[in-house]
Every structure is written in C-alpha cells, then in structure tokens.
Structure 1
C-alpha cells in the first residue's frame, strides 16, 4: 500500500499544482486549440475555471487524510458519498454499486492569480484484500474520472446554448451530464478534442440552477453521436496499426527530433517520401499522440520516440510485427472462429514458429519483438525467489526456458551478480542470445543449450518460463510443466510470466492477447485458477502471484508439498 499511496499522492499533488497555476484565460485555449478572439472573450465573460478532479484509492479515511495533508490540502468537511461516480464505476467494471464505497471532498486552493478554486477529490476505498485492486489499476491508467471544470456565471438558457455551441465549434463533443437536485445544479460534460494540450480529456460545465431543458438537447446529441463515433473509431483501428507500422518502417522517428520541429519537405527528402502524403500520415499520427505539429513543423513526442530503431525500450519491432505478418493473418480471424484452425497457419501453411525460423529476417524480428515487451519484466529480477537464490552461499543457477534472445535472463544476471544462468532455446535463437549476453558482459556467467522442452536442464535453483505457456493448448502446457517438474530439485522455484485473464471479466490487455493467441498462434491466455490446475496436474503448486506492468503476472510455483518459507 505504500507504493499505492505514494503514487496517488503524486497524482494529487500534480492536480493541485495544475489548479494553482492555471486560469480561465490560459486554460481554455489549451483545452480547445484554435479558440481565440470573440469566442474566447465570450467564454471568459460567462464562465470561470473552478476546479480539477481526480479519483484516488486509499485503504480508508485515515490514508485519505494523510494523502491530502501530504499535498498541503485541508478539507473542512468530512467525505460525502459520491453516488454518480460510484454508479459509473459499477457500470464500467460490472460490480454492484453497493459494494463500492466512493466519497468526495472539495478542499480549497488559491491560484497564482489569487482566485479561490477547489480540487475535487473522489476516493474509492480499497481495503487490503478487498479484490478492488484491479479496478484501481484500471482507473489509474485510464483516468476516466479526471476532468477540469468551469462554472457558468449568471446563466440563462440562451447563454448556455451559446457556450455549448462554442465548445462544439472547437472540437469538444457532448459526453453526458445530469441535474443534481441536492445542489440544484446542472452539469454538462464534454470530451475535449484530440488536439487538446491541457492534459485532460474531459471538461465539465457546471451551471447553478435547473437547466434540464437545455441539458436534454445536450444529452440527446451525446446519445446520437457517441455510439456511431465510437464504433467508427473501433472499425478504423486497422488504420492506426498500419500508420504506426509505416511510421516505424520508413524510420521517420529516427529522422525527427523531440526538442524542435522539422519541416515536412525536409523530412520527406530525408526519408525518401512524397511531402504531401507524408504530411497526411503525420497529421493522423498527431491525433494518436506520436507527433505534434507546430509552427516549425512536426516534432516527435516521447510516445513516438519509442518507435526509433535501436533506442532504449524501443517498441519498433512490435510495430513491424503487428503491422506485418500478424496483421495479414488477422484477416483470417473469421476462419479461426468458424473452423478452429489457426488463421496464421491457414494463410502461411505452417505455424508461426516454423515460419519465422525459416526466414532469418523474420526470426530476428520476432526475437526483437519479444524483447521489446521488456517493460513487463522490469520488476521480475526483484522477485523474492530470485533474491533468495542470489543469497545462497555458493550462488545459484537460473534456468531460462525458451529464453529468446536473452533479454530477461540478462536483466536477472544484471540485478544479481552472484547468480549464473542457463538459457535453453532453438539453435538460431541460442546464437542470438549468446551474442547479446556476451556484448552485455554476462556471457561468462551463462551456459547456452540448444534444445526443446524435453531438454530442460536439471539442478537449477530458479526456472523461468516467460510468455511460453500461452503459446500452447492445455495438454502441451502440462507436458512442458512436467518436464520442468522432473528437472527441478525439491528446493527449486518456477516463475511463470504471463498475462492473466481477470476473474471478474474486467477490461485487460490479457483479453486482447487471448484473441491474438487464438488467431495467430493457436494458444490462449488463462485465469490464475486455470494455471493452478495445470500446475497441479504436473505435480506443482501455485505459491503466489505478483502483478507486473502491462497486465502481466509472475506465477510462482514449487513442487507440491514443498515448504515455501525459504522465500
């Protein structure tokens, strides 16, 4: 909970600073790019910036107060129930509203301009062991409830319709609203345009009084527009995949700068493209946040920089893989759903492992794409089982089964200088891993073995299976786990790294990858209970599981009946 509290406090402190530093005149053009002149003056005349809101996740009221104090906030009143946010969370996460304790506080802050504003703090209580951590993680990532608010002064129906029209003219779209009879206030929500520079995607217009007649037209426009627009955005997702893949393929990010813009004509000349066509691509990528357009041309963002070749943490290989072979095979998804045959095999005539191994360039790209998912590995070297193995008197051995190009094993060896490693892979991958670990300076501490799952070496202290089991059906997984169990000494630990399907059906990257595995690989993602059954069938027992970024988990298993006190 310490990390959670610290993270929420940091988010809250950022919100407090934002409320202090912004004012109506500067914030509105950030939210609605292009807003200027008479329209800006009209908005400033009739509404003012009143608050920014966020949702935090304390374990109780005491932790909430600690969080507020850490940000210099004083809440005069006790937290009050927030029925609206509670119902939205219940609907979004398919939970009973009665099971969610959501409160609201409005501590006051004074802006740099001397104006008094508030920070609207919604708090979902997440007691330890409550099972609400998945909701908290999802909401922290998506920030659904974060918004900025403006209060309308001296409103009337004509003014309200005019304000809504100005918002629409500059790209904001209706996003719900309601009337609160307890406060006698009407709320109009808008989704900020994609080009917004304020850091918030949701805008609230609060109007004292009952203006449900104007609100009805606002809500009707929201109902009419949102389903079609949402569906249209979903149906054009393939465009996004290809735009990012082409951006990476043409090495456009490598020719751009984060600090300053570059003229399209110059950029087109550098990469060998048509200026007009490149400009069209870049404008689309600006909507995605990969680039930004300014007076001096297009500038690369931190998100776009992840597609640079050879950069630390580069995701370029993933973009090329998802926009290449896997993009092609997804066209056969209907065939997979209808017949059960893997679309990749239907299209290419063989499974993806054999297909990639047959083509050296594709094999290298696949290995690089697996390594590019390394963000989910960052906490793995700190796992208690690895830390305990590193403290063994004579050191210990980590066996990475199907370890790819050695990305994960290299991270483990870097974090634990006393450990040695063994990497088991196919021959072509073993050589790539040997080169990588030699270059990193860990080759002398690592043995390399070419082979299959039947060749898992015995005598290791910790065994790693990273994103392996999701490639296979249950029967093959049992075989793999039995090979591991036979090789493992009684004291050894098995760490299985996979995305785990949520038991409650909440949104997760694992659900998306479950579809990908079915279509392209012939495997599947699974729930933790499903993995526990597979472990049990192989004579292993699930000890615990630890969450990782990108909805990953470390599933820690040992031989059934083995004490776990050593870790």
Structure 2
C-alpha cells in the first residue's frame, strides 16, 4: 500500500519575520535588499519560500478539508462558511480559519468575507472528479504520531512508527479497520493517475493470468482486466485488506475473472502462473525482507513466467520526484527504502532473477524480470 505523505513543522510565529528595528534589512552576506515600496523580492522572497516548505499547517488543513469533503459542498458555487460547516459537521469559525489558510495557497478562494468557492486546485478535491484526490490525503493520526518521532529516526536510521506505537505499521492497520479503510481509499485515489500512466507502458495483454501480490483492494488489477478482456487475475493480500476487494472488482465488472486469496503474500504465492506482479510492495521492506519475498516468487515461477515490479525509481540530482518523498515516508513508517534502478536490478539478481527491461513512466517504472538461467 501506498503512503499518505508527511508533514513538516512551521517556523515559530507562523508569519513573515520583520526586519530588526522595523526597517528594511541590510544587504549583508550577499542578500538583496527589499526595494522601497515593500515588493517581495530577494531575501524576503527566499524567506517566504522557506516558510512555505517548512509549513505543516496547510498540509494538515488540507487533510481536514479532504476528510470532511468540503469541496463537494461547493460544487454548486460559493457558499457561506456557516452553511458548509453545518453540512459537514465542523465548527464554523474554525472551518473559516482553516479555509482561509488553504485559500492563501490557492486551494479554495474567499470571494467575499466568510464565503468560499472552488479554485482549479480545489476542483481536484471533488469526489466526482475523474482524477479526484479527495481520498488521497486522509487525516491519519497514527502516521502523524510517527512523524513526530522523525528526530530519533534521523539520529538512528530506524523506523519511527513501531517505536511510537509498539508494533509494526501493517500490524497496526490489521488491528484498526477504520484506519485501514482510510489508507486503502488513499491508495485507490492515488492509483487513478498511476493506472493511466502504466496502462500504456507495457504489453499487459500478453500477461495471461496475473498474480497480484500485495495488491490491496484490487483496483490496479481490476483496471487491467477491464481494459484487456482475456486477462485473468489472482489477488493476494492480508484478510482485512482483501475483504474489500469484491466491491472493487464488481464495480469494474471483472469479479468472474479474479480469485481473491486472503493471506500473507510472503507465504501464500500461487505457483506456476504466467505473470507475478509486485506493485509498490518492495519499498515497504528492507533488503533482507524484500530479498526473501523475491526468492519466494522466483521459486513459484515457471521457467517461462515473468515478474513485473512497479516502483518509483529515484533519480539523481535536485529535480522533484515523488519517489524521494515516498522514500522518506517509507523510512518513517517501515524503515524500508525506495531504491535506484541499479539497486532494484541488483536486488532481483540476488534473488535469482534476471532483469529483462526497465520502462520509466511519469509515475512508476516497470521492471520486467524472469528466472535466471
């Protein structure tokens, strides 16, 4: 399962710092002075950018707006905050302050005092948007508690979640059905874009029967089978996750072509099938556990079977890539890394698997492998 995303602290005070003594800051140490008239440029613009990056207030406000489906209340047009609050069950003045923060970031707008409306960014939070992100960003308190332990993780390199909660991330979800449903819904929402990018990246029609190990509620598998009518599937995941799969499969009209297996995919791998799929699974596990899983898959494969590994490959350099965020989030929750192309290929090699091809997409890469001869 995919991750929800992490939040970061805001500087003390929450606003833009004033220059000492109330005047304009001196141009010291290469900083550029603020021009007369107060335009935001130079070092002030840099300070504001750092504040934006360090802010955890807006991300948490966004998660409340998503959890309580605020954008859906505004589909018909601008509304007073009191009406919105009454409809979703929130405190009106608190909701106003929350939406004001989001409007500052371009999510919602306040065209009149106390009246809010959708913006292009807020449209993505509507439940009826084809690429809706409404369920992608739930409020999961347990994750936030884990992130509060990031300082110790930074010192030791160990996962924060088990340290803060006394059990592993997935053991916790197994015992918290309501939280698990929120996490599963988050994965489903994020999968909408992933499906669009991956569906054209590989010859899925030739895959025969696909064993989707750790496939969650089956959204990705269902999308593949809905597109390619000759495919069949076997979905394997833990019982509390697999229990929701029949609903997802039925919604896509593929229930008759999928067998759902409730079990631990480390121990429950149907042997001798055409294609084995690990979609965003390896980044949840350390090299030791990932290697053990891959060796088990290799043993289950026929000589002509294929393994498809879908992961975010971390690029070098400073460019934005969602895999860099997932890498840190995986460390906090499970202690496992996202990996480079070379690291994934070596991990497969150590398990007796030969990488045949690597196809990069705008979201995940597709690594195709077979049993080494």
Category of TM-score, reference length = shorter chain: 0.7 to 0.9
Question: Is 1:513 paired with 2:326?
Answer: yes
The structural deviation recorded for 1:505 is 5.4
Correspondence for 2:314:
501
The structural deviation recorded for 1:498 is 1.1
The structural deviation recorded for 1:384 is 3.2
Alpha carbon RMSD of aligned pairs, Å?
2.3
Q: TM-score, normalised by structure 2?
A: 0.83
Partner-residue secondary structure (3-state), 2:333: helix
Structure of higher RCO (CA pairs closer than 8 Å, 6+ residues apart): 2
The structural deviation recorded for 1:305 is 3.5
C-alpha spacing 1:165/1:504, structure 2 compared with 1 (3 Å): closer
Question: Is 1:545 paired with 2:358?
Answer: yes
Correspondence for 2:184:
367
Task: State the alpha-carbon separation in 1 of the partners of residues 89 and 349 from structure 2.
Answer: 57
The structural deviation recorded for 1:520 is 1.3
Partner-residue secondary structure (3-state), 1:376: helix
Match for 2:52 among 201, 215, 233?
233
Correspondence for 2:253:
441
Correspondence for 2:197:
379
Correspondence for 2:349:
536
Task: State the alpha-carbon separation in 2 of the partners of residues 265 and 271 from structure 1.
Answer: 10
Q: Deviations over 1:35-57 (max 9, x none)?
A: xxxxxxxxxxxxxxxxxxxxxxx
Kindly tell me the number of residue pairs found equivalent between the two proteins.
Answer: 337
Question: Is 1:330 paired with 2:142?
Answer: no
Task: Map 1:194-343 onto structure 2 (within 5 A).
Answer: 222=42, 224-236=43-55, 238-257=56-75, 260-295=77-112, 297-309=115-127, 312-321=130-139, 324-343=141-160
Partner-residue secondary structure (3-state), 1:535: helix
Question: Is 1:559 paired with 2:371?
Answer: yes
Question: Is 1:425 paired with 2:242?
Answer: no
Task: State the alpha-carbon separation in 2 of the partners of residues 280 and 415 from structure 1.
Answer: 45
Correspondence for 1:491:
304
The structural deviation recorded for 1:504 is 4.1
Task: State the alpha-carbon separation in 1 of the partners of residues 46 and 197 from structure 2.
Answer: 39
Partner-residue secondary structure (3-state), 1:558: strand
The structural deviation recorded for 1:403 is 0.6
Are 2:138 and 2:183, in contact at CA under 8 Å, matched by a contact in 1?
no
The structural deviation recorded for 1:307 is 3.1
C-alpha spacing 1:246/1:491, structure 2 compared with 1 (3 Å): same
Question: Is 1:353 paired with 2:165?
Answer: no
Task: State the alpha-carbon separation in 2 of the partners of residues 242 and 498 from structure 1.
Answer: 27
Task: State the alpha-carbon separation in 1 of the partners of residues 367 and 118 from structure 2.
Answer: 38
Are 2:201 and 2:361, in contact at CA under 8 Å, matched by a contact in 1?
no
Are 2:357 and 2:369, in contact at CA under 8 Å, matched by a contact in 1?
yes
Task: State the alpha-carbon separation in 1 of the partners of residues 351 and 46 from structure 2.
Answer: 47
The structural deviation recorded for 1:409 is 0.3
Correspondence for 1:564:
none
Task: State the alpha-carbon separation in 1 of the partners of residues 133 and 263 from structure 2.
Answer: 28
The structural deviation recorded for 1:363 is 1.6
The structural deviation recorded for 1:478 is 0.9
Task: State the alpha-carbon separation in 1 of the partners of residues 182 and 91 from structure 2.
Answer: 27
Match for 2:280 among 464, 467, 471?
467
Correspondence for 1:399:
211
The structural deviation recorded for 1:165 is 5.6
Q: Deviations over 1:530-549 (max 9, x none)?
A: 00001111111222222233
Are 1:385 and 1:493, in contact at CA under 8 Å, matched by a contact in 2?
no
Task: State the alpha-carbon separation in 1 of the partners of residues 322 and 290 from structure 2.
Answer: 21
C-alpha spacing 1:379/1:507, structure 2 compared with 1 (3 Å): closer
The structure in which a higher percent of residues are strand is 1
Task: State the alpha-carbon separation in 2 of the partners of residues 327 and 549 from structure 1.
Answer: 28
C-alpha spacing 1:547/1:401, structure 2 compared with 1 (3 Å): same
Q: Deviations over 1:54-76 (max 9, x none)?
A: xxxxxxxxxxxxxxxxxxxxxxx
Task: State the alpha-carbon separation in 2 of the partners of residues 250 and 384 from structure 1.
Answer: 37
Are 1:241 and 1:319, in contact at CA under 8 Å, matched by a contact in 2?
no
Partner-residue secondary structure (3-state), 1:554: strand
Structure 2: runs of 5+ lacking an equivalent? 1-34
Task: State the alpha-carbon separation in 1 of the partners of residues 281 and 358 from structure 2.
Answer: 17
Task: State the alpha-carbon separation in 2 of the partners of residues 342 and 249 from structure 1.
Answer: 26
Are 1:485 and 1:539, in contact at CA under 8 Å, matched by a contact in 2?
yes
The structural deviation recorded for 1:525 is 0.6
Partner-residue secondary structure (3-state), 1:542: strand
Q: Deviations over 1:106-151 (max 9, x none)?
A: xxxxxxxxxxxxxxxxxxxxxxxxxxxxxxxxxxxxxxxxxxxxxx
Q: TM-score, normalised by structure 1?
A: 0.56
Q: Deviations over 1:353-372 (max 9, x none)?
A: 01011011112112212212
Question: Is 1:173 paired with 2:40?
Answer: yes
Q: Deviations over 1:141-200 (max 9, x none)?
A: xxxxxxxxxxxxxxxxxxxxxxx767x5xxx522xxxxxxxxxxxxxxxxxxxxxxxxxx
